[in-house]
């Protein structure tokens, strides 16, 4: 039975799509967000609804988190510092927000007996050189602490450890979703996310900047599939477990640039920029391939992605075009 759901990071890219899905299913939604990387634009059409409440505060505030967790029946914890660029630029801020914020949420979910879903990341797997499918029990392979990008992976790994520990030691009802690259309308390209960055450059006839040699591959999952997976996991009742959510359709980033350019009907140049020129020396280490195994979530809740990369690109291009036209 739908009740009240709290989404931390509810004004963000994934959080706002999740809010829409929950409202559609009859939930009353509380969104807690400091609107740092999220935006009011993401919530267009939601803020005037009686069953949607936005609280502009930080997940680092125990008093705010306590009150909202107490009020709600379930909690989706998505608030975090996200995006390679932000993480490389502000590793301390990343660690603090992602670890202390999660600690707060988990503390009050434990105290008030509320079920919580923690959004983790495929970054937790680290840098696997082989092209194997990553299953939830794969080893984690990390670089040195001087390469700042690992601050994000470590912060998410600590979140997972803490959720699993409170489950064992204090009976916390929790589930962890390890999200692989999620894309779709409303994702900002401002913090280094590749598809919105490429689409915006292609539509503006600016060069599409590929970092590295473009041979690194990624899989992209449509946000509508991702939020369906998050809700499915929450509803499953499974506790103290973690699940991958992601697409298995792989593409090399150089190839992705060509595909975006063709789909956008653009004549933009494609340029290749060494990592050292984009990120401060030694702070960035690229991961070459990352494909999820989705056997576990398939067996548990029958989830699989439904949208292809071509459909995703069409969707993002159409969204960006309408955004540019509205702004003009």
- Find the shortest distance in angstroms from Cβ 170 to ligand NAD: 22
The yes or no reply on residue 230 touching ligand NAD (CB under 6 A) is: no
Q: What's 100's DSSP letter?
A: I
The yes or no reply on residue 279 touching ligand NAD (CB under 6 A) is: no
The yes or no reply on residue 58 touching ligand NAD (CB under 6 A) is: yes
Nearest-10 crossing angle of helices 253-263, 194-203: 40
182-201 mask for ligand NAD (x: CB under 6 A)?
x-------------------
What's the CA gap between 230 and 285, in Å, rounded?
29
Query: In sequence order, what are the residues at sequence separation of 6 or more whose Cβ sits closer than 8 angstroms to the Cβ of residue 155?
Result: 80, 94, 95, 98, 99
The yes or no reply on residue 245 touching ligand NAD (CB under 6 A) is: no
Residue 108 falls in the annotated catalytic set? no
The yes or no reply on residue 35 touching ligand NAD (CB under 6 A) is: yes
- Find the shortest distance in angstroms from Cβ 122 to ligand NAD: 6
* Segment near ligand NAD (CB under 6 A); pick from 177-185, 208-216, 264-272, 295-303: 177-185
- Find the shortest distance in angstroms from Cβ 116 to ligand NAD: 13
Measured CA angle at 247 (ends 241, 252), to 5 deg: 130
Query: What is the SS3 assignment for 242?
Result: strand
Q: Which is nearer to ligand NAD, 221 or 268 (CB)?
A: 221
Query: What is the SS3 assignment for 152?
Result: helix
User: What sign has the CA pseudo-torsion 65, 69, 70, 71?
Assistant: positive
- Catalytic site residue from 76, 152, 191, 275: 152
* Segment near ligand NAD (CB under 6 A); pick from 6-14, 229-237, 277-285, 286-294: 6-14
Measured CA angle at 46 (ends 113, 76), to 5 deg: 25
Catalytic residue numbers? 152
């Amino acid at each position: 039975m739908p009740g009240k759901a709290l989404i931390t990071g509810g004004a963000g890219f994934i959080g706002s799509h999740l809010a829409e899905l929950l409202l559609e299913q009859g939930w009353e939604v509380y969104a807690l967000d400091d609107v740092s990387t999220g935006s009011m634009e993401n919530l267009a059409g939601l803020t005037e609804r009686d069953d949607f409440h936005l609280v502009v505060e930080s997940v680092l505030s125990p008093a705010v988190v306590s009150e909202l967790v107490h009020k709600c029946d379930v909690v989706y914890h998505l608030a975090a510092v996200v995006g390679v660029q932000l993480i490389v630029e502000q590793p301390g801020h990343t660690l603090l927000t992602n670890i202390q914020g999660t600690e707060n949420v988990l503390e009050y979910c434990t105290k008030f007996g509320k079920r919580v879903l923690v959004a983790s990341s495929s970054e937790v797997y680290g840098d696997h050189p082989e092209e194997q499918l990553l299953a939830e029990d794969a080893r984690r392979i990390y670089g040195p602490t001087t390469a700042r990008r690992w601050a994000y992976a470590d912060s998410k790994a600590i979140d997972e450890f803490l959720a699993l520990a409170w489950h064992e030691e204090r009976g916390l009802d929790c589930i962890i979703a390890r999200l692989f690259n999620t894309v779709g309308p409303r994702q900002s390209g401002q913090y280094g996310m590749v598809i919105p960055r490429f689409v915006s450059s292609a539509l503006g006839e600016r060069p599409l900047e590929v970092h590295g040699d473009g041979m690194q591959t990624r899989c992209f999952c449509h946000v509508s599939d991702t939020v369906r997976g998050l809700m499915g996991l929450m509803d499953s009742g499974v506790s103290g477990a973690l699940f991958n959510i992601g697409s298995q359709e792989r593409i090399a980033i150089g190839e992705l640039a060509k595909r975006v350019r063709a789909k956008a009907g653009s004549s933009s140049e494609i340029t290749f920029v060494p990592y050292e020129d984009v990120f401060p020396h030694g702070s960035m280490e690229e991961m070459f391939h990352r494909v999820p195994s989705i056997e576990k979530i398939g067996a548990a809740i029958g989830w699989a992605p439904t949208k292809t990369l071509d459909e995703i690109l069409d969707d993002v291009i159409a969204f960006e075009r309408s955004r540019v036209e509205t702004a003009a």
